[in-house]
Amino acid sequence: MSLIFSDRLPIVEEVVATLTSAAGAGYGGAAALRAGMRRATDQFDEHAAAALARSLVDCLCKSPDDVRVLETLVILGLAHPGALAQHRISLVHEGRRLAYLLEKAGQFERAYCLGELIAERAPVEMIGVSAEDSVAVEQLVRDAEFAAARGRTDSAIRCLEEASKIDPSRQDLPRAIRDLRRKKEFNKAGAKRSLKLAFAVVLVSAIFTTVILREVRIWSRWKSLPEASRDDLPAMRARLAGINELLGSELAWLSMGPALLDRDLLKHDIELAERPVLPVLTDRVTPGTDPTPGSKNDEAEEARTRGLQNAEKGHIADAIKDLKHALEAATADWPHRQRVEADVVALEAWQKKNQ
């Protein structure tokens, strides 16, 4: 529906929001511009568009780099070319300035679509170029091609920009500049990815190398520990001390399991080797001295026999109890008294040492 134009113009901000809202609604570059053109055609006639163009130009005089206002002016010019012509506003010139601002903001796709749409819809403004300027333009183009072929993208862009200033009617130059800038951004992104990948590879290699060198160093220390047999108590103690020192200085490593197992076995073997030997009680009744059945010496002999049996089984407390009972029950001339007393002393000493 066409807007009925009156003496009071619509607010410029509302017009800008109306004609540029498609760009923020997820549309692509060309689709957003065409949607804005359709709205400008439906809502404004050429007379209203000319008045709006004047207001937009006034805004741009205050803020020349306002992209949204400039885009609104270009959309009005694409929808109503005569509206800009009334104020001697060059659609091609304003379109190039908008494309430059979009490229500066990194919106290369929108800038490219804008150039394509202006070349399609707007008549080409012919600007007279002298023969000398034409030769200079061709030379700059050749220099740009030479620089681009050798990877000097910045130099190529500068040459093309200079050529475009000399001959603004050359539509191929802005396209070439946009293509080179896209290529530059793509190469920059690729270089960043390659640098990150190389850094990750170097970091992983360094970590892997550090781990391998550490494992080799620890394994060398482990193999250099002195060997020890079960019969050599000092050698076992020396090896155990070396293993404890290795485990204390290195927190963890891949081949730590054998060291822990060897340490536990050495502790067990050393504990067995250091354990006191139980006194061997082998006294037996001397022939011809058998006690009379039912006598005190007979009771003492039975208690002594039980004590010897408990001692052989490792029941030290019971053995001591039985031997003391034998001493209490026996007569003073019991032939085994002295030996039993010695056995009690030995067993009590062994019991005290192992408590």
- The domain ranges of the chain are 1-125, 128-223, 225-275, 296-353
CA atoms within 13 A on the CB side of 107: 17
Which own/partner pairs from 329-333 qualify as long-range (CB within 8 Å, at least 24 positions apart)? 329/296, 329/299, 329/300, 329/303, 330/296, 330/297, 330/299, 330/300, 331/296, 331/297
DSSP letter at 11 equals P
- Per-10-residue mean pLDDT for the chain, 355 residues long? 39 72 55 79 81 82 81 81 78 79 79 75 51 78 86 86 78 83 85 88 90 88 84 85 87 82 85 64 47 70 88 84 88 86 85 75
Q: Which two tokens stand for residue 38?
A: 């359709």
Query: If you compute the radius of gyration of the chain from its CA atoms, what whole number of angstroms results?
Result: 53
Cα–Cα distance measured from residue 170 to residue 137, given in angstroms and rounded to the nearest whole number: 10
Quote the pLDDT of residue 9: 44
Cα–Cα distance measured from residue 166 to residue 161, given in angstroms and rounded to the nearest whole number: 9
Cα–Cα distance measured from residue 325 to residue 319, given in angstroms and rounded to the nearest whole number: 10
Which candidate, 336, 347, 275, places its Cα nearest to that of 311?
347
Quote the pLDDT of residue 267: 85
Which candidate, 279, 282, 325, places its Cα nearest to that of 304?
325
Which positions ≥6 away from 123 have C-beta within 8 Å? 81
Class of domain 128-223 as given by CATH: mainly alpha
